[in-house]
Structure 1
């Protein structure tokens, strides 16, 4: 047989095998890589979603936390994983819309290195302060920050948290020092201990600590109040007019993963994302359940990248 004919037949055979590959998928455990620490909102979501996927597919899901380096470590590990649909990055706008505008170089490409699978959820953040800080409102915090320029600090363990704090500084005209952490949970631990003064963090991380009395909650970051704590004003209502900052979760696989596998994984994740156990997690944390096709996520991500570029530019943040 002529070599070129043989190559054509092999290629045709490989194409015919792809639908069968998708039909059998998954036939072994799936790994969810989370680029943030255990206990973070993304980690909690990945574990709830993983249990739902196991219920749907009868295959176990292993959650691997790879925090640190501004979520570079987890994103890079996911980008370099086998292109077979068995390694899924459960992530946020930090890795796929914000980092490219915060850093001069990334060890991964948020567009070229990944195949989008589906949007999962949107959420808001909460402004919490150390219990010993002599403030009872957002306006009190602004007055204190202006009276003591450079003396107050805010912590952040994600780009969403960082930009929320930077935008607060920019819109209030105050000088506050930002302190980076590997993830939001350790930042909250230092907030409770008094090493930092406040932070704007995801509801899943901050609200339980506020309800337990370990920190004081002053406001929420979104344009509307949260039903989880309706007594809390929005930051905009509390005097920083026009302030609005949220974040989103999505699933990605390495670029080059076969399209039929991506399509099958999309079906699995969309269905799992609607299971009652996952819906309960979203409701408990004030998140909105979402779903999308891979192409819809691709377009959404592009729009979000443009949005975050403008926010970061308005906050006057220089690329590191």
Structure 2
């Protein structure tokens, strides 16, 4: 367990005090894990797994606190305004830190200024997915079809990964594509399976079962390497976008100026959590891929992806209505 502020022991005795009083141990009360998306989704799943591990490690509850709305913006605003005392943390996906502010200058927080990166938690690839009835079997066939006629593609709304990946495909291939937003990825996939949509670039859990059952075809996956959950499906980097290495990632953040000892303790416990066999089994069941990064590496990843998505948002002229 990690505790801070206790006076040092030297030779089995309490050292001569150099500070007037010891600081209280952390955490000395329940910690809220703010989840900026609805219950039942992948952010909720990973937050609950992590929260249980942290409860056992630190001896205090790590309580889910759902603050949903505006694509994760409301939850991020809440954490950005919280005191940096270690009692309010954020479990989120990448777009909250890399996309929202670029889409909406009035998002109410600055991802680069208002948060302390703590740890990368996991990655999840997306798959370029079409209905089997569309009659295309690879990405080249989809591109050829998309240059002949307009293709409809679905997402869970403006600025979510499925929308951004769709626009990226449109920009680099010259396909004619029409974006159709839904209230969640589930309805979009339902329409895709029924053949009423041509394409969804969907997170793995939403389509893996349909691909395995032959109702949908996965033509490519995001990320720099093939997904262990669809090893026969090539990456976008292999096919049409050399060097493309972007996935949806999940991370733990605190408010700005979170004390370094708290950051270090949390980062260590996340690493222990990810190394557990039970964690790897649960990750696999949810199609998460294990990913680790120091706080500094997480900041660099955030900055890199924010710059990449900002260019795509500008080139595609994406706006929040």
1:196-240 superposed Cα distances (whole Å, 9 cap, x missing partner): 432112223332443355533222123432222222222344x42
- RMSD of Structure 2 on Structure 1 (CA): 3.0
1:255-302 superposed Cα distances (whole Å, 9 cap, x missing partner): 24444333333333332233223222344525132031x344334433
Alignment of 1:223-302 (within 5 A): 223-237=224-238, 239-242=239-242, 244-284=245-285, 285=287, 287-292=289-294, 294-302=295-303
SS of the residue corresponding to residue 236 of structure 2 reads coil
The 1:223/1:50 distance shift into structure 2, 3 A limit, reads same
The 1:184/1:56 distance shift into structure 2, 3 A limit, reads farther
Report what 1:154 is aligned to: 154
Report what 2:316 is aligned to: 316
Residue pair 2:154, 2:182 contacting (<8 A) in 1 also: no
Higher helix share: 1
> Where in structure 1 are there 5+ consecutive unaligned residues?
1-11
Matched pairs, number: 299
Q: Distance in 1 between matches of 2:298 and 2:192?
A: 35
What is the TM-score normalised by the length of structure 1? 0.79
Report what 1:164 is aligned to: 165
> Where in structure 2 are there 5+ consecutive unaligned residues?
1-18
Report what 1:125 is aligned to: 126
The 1:304/1:144 distance shift into structure 2, 3 A limit, reads closer
RCO (CA 8 Å, sep 6+): is it higher in 1 or 2? 1
Residue pair 1:124, 1:222 contacting (<8 A) in 2 also: yes
Report what 1:3 is aligned to: none
The 1:244/1:83 distance shift into structure 2, 3 A limit, reads closer
